[in-house]
Amino acid sequence: MGERLRVIGTMSGTSLDGVDAAVLETDGIDILGFGQTEFRAYAEEERSVLRAALGSWRADDAAALVEAAHAEVLSRFEAPDLVGFHGQTLAHDPGGQGTYQAGDGAQLAETLGWPVAWDFRTADVQMGGQGAPLAPFYHWACARWIEAEAPVAFLNLGGVGNLTWVDPASDVPEAPGVLLAFDTGPANAPLDDFMSQRRGARCDKGGALARSGAVDMAVIERLLRHPYFDRMAPKSLDRDAFSGVLDVSHLSDADGAATLTAAVAASVTVGLDQCPSAPSRILVTGGGRQNALMMEMLAAGSDCPVDPVEAVGLDGDMLEAQAFAYLAARVAQGMPTTCPTTTGAPAVLGGGIVSRPA
């Protein structure tokens, strides 16, 4: 058991909505307590800067923006033992150019005067892993916290969908057979981009527009023929990996929204076939859980209950931020953060670095 730490985790996801920040008390193994949470939205002009930088391997303006936004939201908290800073993913190409999260944790540590754990993905990618998803070790801790007795799946529907299958019986997350994690396919990013282009809206709130439309099954079939779905897990995606095959420009607003919503459910359904055994329950986190139609479509394609994580007392808006608090505690104490069945890395690995203010 490690030292009990009070950590603030932060997350700025590929949906580009803003920065989540959450306090977690943990020893790097168990969740020992939850604390204050805050959200700092990106203004439309800030979102435009970040959107323009997507795909870049260096973006000084975006990095400065990300650091300033994080410093602003973190200023609302009392000093913690540690901060977990993920930064903003702008490009992700494991096996190619690597992975790039805008924002310098060392600079943030100087600004705040607090130690900052950051750069969680690079070491995993350099060793041949996907560098994603990174939340699975925290999902294991969540499964222990809810006292799950049978395997469960955590499904995060942010910009990209990712799923973690968890066997809660083990005492450590890195043990063989405990976790399987992978990106399932598109989640909110294509739908949100479509809504922005067609309606000037941030999202299809509650799935209301999609509910009035019809799904174009030819688009769904084209999506599922993509070679990504034939690859075995673990595997990961860039935000815009399916921009070519998920072309709904020929459809009406309602039909396009319906089709992009159905694409999320279809890709998750295919992904469930890769789990070692059927989960007893799917617990959904991220913005997608607030889309009622998306949740209905997920339930229709699953053989087990599909519920938002709030059903078990967790916070679906802050789970990712809490995950980086948890990982930060593990980094600070030299514990592993990834393993072969979460990122495809060749061995159990500890990523991340800790920067301390001068």
Render pLDDT for 257-281 as a digit per residue (tens, 0 to 9): 999 999 999 999 999 999 999 999 9
Q: Which long-range contacts (CB under 8 A, 24 or more apart) does 217-221 make?
A: 219/245, 219/246, 219/247, 219/248, 219/251, 219/259, 219/263, 220/259, 220/262, 220/263, 220/266
Cα distances from 267 to residues 113, 186, 224, 239, 322, in angstroms, run 43, 7, 7, 15, 26
In order, the DSSP letters of 83-111 are: EEEEEEEEEEETTTTEEEEES-HHHHHHH
pTM: 0.94
For the segment 109-165, what is each residue's pLDDT rounded down to a tens digit? Answer: 999 999 999 999 999 999 999 998 899 999 999 999 999 999 999 999 988 999 999
Residue 217 predicted with pLDDT over 90: yes
Per-residue pLDDT, averaged over 211-220, amounts to: 98
Residue 27 predicted with pLDDT over 80: yes
Residue 326 predicted with pLDDT over 80: yes
- List CB contacts of 208: < 8 A, sequence separation 6 or more: none
Confidence of residue 15 (pLDDT cuts 50, 70, 90): confident
3-state secondary structure of 278: coil
Per-residue pLDDT, averaged over 206-229, amounts to: 98
- List CB contacts of 147: < 8 A, sequence separation 6 or more: none
3-state secondary structure of 304: coil
Q: Of 113, 19, 25, whose CA–CA distance to 72 is shortest?
A: 19
Q: What is the CATH number of domain 147-312?
A: 3.30.420.40
Q: What is the pLDDT of residue 1?
A: 66
For the segment 32-72, what is each residue's pLDDT rounded down to a tens digit? Answer: 999 999 999 999 999 999 999 999 999 999 999 999 999 99
Confidence of residue 230 (pLDDT cuts 50, 70, 90): very high
Confidence of residue 240 (pLDDT cuts 50, 70, 90): confident
Q: Of 324, 312, 258, 246, whose CA–CA distance to 285 is shortest?
A: 312
Domain ranges, ordered by start, for the chain: 5-131+320-355, 147-312
Residue 64 sits at the vertex; the CA angle it makes with 357 and 321, to the nearest 5 degrees, is 70
Percent of the chain whose pLDDT exceeds 70:
100
Q: Are 329 and 322 in contact (CB under 8 A)?
A: no
DSSP summary character for residue 206: G
* 5-131+320-355 fold: Nucleotidyltransferase; domain 5 (3.30.420)
Per-residue pLDDT, averaged over 233-262, amounts to: 93
Confidence of residue 244 (pLDDT cuts 50, 70, 90): confident
Tokens of 208: 């209301």
Return the CA Rg of the chain.
19
Strand partners, 353: 118
Residue 208 predicted with pLDDT over 80: yes
In order, the DSSP letters of 149-202 are: -S-EEEEEESSEEEEEEE-TTSSSTTSTTSEEEEEEEE-HHHHHHHHHHHHS-S
